[in-house]
Amino acid sequence: MSFTICTFNVNSIRSRIDLVIRWLNEKRKIDIVCLQEIKCEPERFPFDRFESAGYNCVVNGQKRLNGVAICSKFPVSSVKTVFGSDVLDLQKRLIEVKIDDMVILNCYIPRGGLEGEERYNYKMEFFDALKSYTKILLGQEKKVVLVGDFNVALTDLDVYDPKAFEGTVGFLPEEKRKMRELLESGLQDCYRKKHPKNRSFTWWDYRNAGIWRDEGMRIDYILANDTMCKECTSVEVDLWTRRRRSPTPSDHAPVVAVFEHPRLGKKNTIL
């Protein structure tokens, strides 16, 4: 049996809820929806809309900024929103759940800034702390999936014009080095494993109609340890939500992956 998981930076779930629910109800069957930049406290998250669509949601949110959530059609056996790290816990950027024998970690990496800026240092520290935590998790669990908005385009294939992005946030050498170090801790980029030579993007600037010229960056990833990566049968960027004119879309598009699993996919049961 198979199940689907997506990562989607919605850039405010309350602003995007009609679009997201329409996508889930009419356009795409997704079993586990991982959201970033929800920009609301847990009590303001639209639980009712997701519950009506068959999801059970867990949230780590804050007012007007950041925030992550996981909405699942399968029972969630554990939830983690505090990670024992000053850097990881400073803002609401990380949430972890266990579903059956699989751990899913959903993250929203800071956008950062130019070298020397406080925002740049925070991003570097966040990557280091996430790598340290992930290495521990990989040593404890057999099936791990790490998804989210990493705010880094790793290679020249992940931007529409490498020269245009040279020296810009999201494509700085040190950012790419930190991303590679995270992968080297025991993770694989599922999209790149399936599409080794594709030039495909997940974010386009609202300005200058970048989505229509496909002038974007691939900064949203589904990463997995070897066991889970081998069970991944397909990964793609779904452009439907990004190419809407009304309601206003997020500047990101969701990445959707299909995984094989001996139990998940047989029946979607909510706790």
What tokens does 206 get?
A: 């609202």
Average pLDDT over residues 179-189: 98
Q: Check: CB of residue 30 under 8 Å from CB of residue 56.
A: no
pTM equals 0.96
pLDDT given at position 264: 82
What tokens does 161 get?
A: 């014009």
Q: Spell out the alpha helix ranges (H) of 109-209.
A: 118-140, 162-165, 173-184, 190-194
Neighbours of 1 (CB within 10 A): 11
Burial (CB count <10 Å: 0-12, 13-18, 19+), residue 74: buried
Q: Check: CB of residue 186 under 8 Å from CB of residue 138.
A: yes
Yes or no: domain 2-260 corresponds to CATH 3.60.10.10: yes
In this predicted structure, the answer to whether residue 268 has a pLDDT above a threshold of 60 is: no
Domain edges within the chain: 2-260
Share of the chain above pLDDT 90, in %: 92
Q: pLDDT tens digits for 204-246?
A: 999 888 999 999 999 999 999 999 999 999 999 999 999 988 8
Distance CA 25, CA 253 (A): 17
Distance CA 156, CA 160 (A): 8
Distance CA 95, CA 108 (A): 9
Distance CA 57, CA 2 (A): 21
Q: Check: CB of residue 180 under 8 Å from CB of residue 126.
A: no
What tokens does 64 get?
A: 């007007």
CA separation (Å) from 137 to 1, 41, 110?
A: 26, 27, 21
In this predicted structure, the answer to whether residue 179 has a pLDDT above a threshold of 60 is: yes
Considering only CA atoms, give the Rg of the chain. Answer: 17
In this predicted structure, the answer to whether residue 271 has a pLDDT above a threshold of 50 is: no
Q: Residue 265: pLDDT band by 50, 70, 90 thresholds?
A: low
Q: Residue 70: pLDDT band by 50, 70, 90 thresholds?
A: very high
Share of the chain above pLDDT 70, in %: 97
Q: pLDDT tens digits for 239-251?
A: 999 998 888 899 9
pLDDT given at position 254: 98
Angle between helices 118-140 and 173-184 (to 10 degrees): 10
pLDDT given at position 33: 98
pLDDT given at position 1: 86
pLDDT given at position 267: 45
Average pLDDT over residues 29-44: 97
Neighbours of 149 (CB within 10 A): 28
Q: pLDDT tens digits for 134-175?
A: 999 999 999 999 999 999 999 999 999 999 999 999 999 999
Q: pLDDT tens digits for 94-115?
A: 999 999 999 999 999 999 999 9
What tokens does 258 get?
A: 């299909």
pLDDT given at position 266: 56
In this predicted structure, the answer to whether residue 270 has a pLDDT above a threshold of 80 is: no
